[in-house]
Structure 1
Amino acid sequence: MSDAGEVVARLRAKVPGVRVIGATVTSALGSTSAAHGHVEQNEKRIALNDFVRTSALFDGVVDFEKVALDTATGGMRPEFVPDSTTGGPGDKLHPNRAGYLAMGNAIDLGMVVKK
């Protein structure tokens, strides 16, 4: 069992009936952060997102990447880049308010209710 599988199993054993929701990670390509934004990190992110989507480990998945990804560049959608709204230039790692709103709207609240 993977480390994630062990954590989820322990959580389910400790909290019967808990719903465990996975979420994909948004792209950071082009980020000004030294720890993010480079190709190697992006490859790890893509592999993690694939695991989240396909592992069947979770009771539901929120696909934040699908909402925020600019498929033409592999980075964040231009309208979600922080300098496209009020505030500083941003880091191209964290979206602006419009991006967070879109991500929040991508959450199906029905998946947190046990059926």
Structure 2
Amino acid sequence: MAKTILCVDDSSSMRLMVKMALTGAGYDVIEACDGKDALGKAQAGGVSMVLTDLNMPNMDGLSLIRALRALPTYKGVPIIFLTTESDESKKAEARSAGATAWIVKPFQESQLLGVVKKVIG
């Protein structure tokens, strides 16, 4: 059975790029346009990994991670930031909120797939 990845980004073109890379590698992808949308979709369950942007309207990536980590079903689910931010203090804040890894945009498809394979197989 394919593993499902929740892709959260306010940019539809970024979601499309990520979705094409992941579905091409055999993963199922659920798309969300911001943290609020993602939280609603995540609560339906069945998500193996979350890939989220940091800067988004309504609910940013850090708030999303904190909200997901508060849910028992998301204690051990890998959450990866995919963002243009590369600031060390932001990375530290993300780690303390519960982020598993950090990929800086623009990313290489091979880099994204490498990280995904490492965390969920």
Normalising by structure 1, we get a TM-score of: 0.38
Asked which structure has the greater CA Rg, the reply is 1
Normalising by structure 2, we get a TM-score of: 0.36
Higher RCO (CA-CA < 8 Å; seq separation 6+): 1
- The structure that is strand-richer by fraction is 2
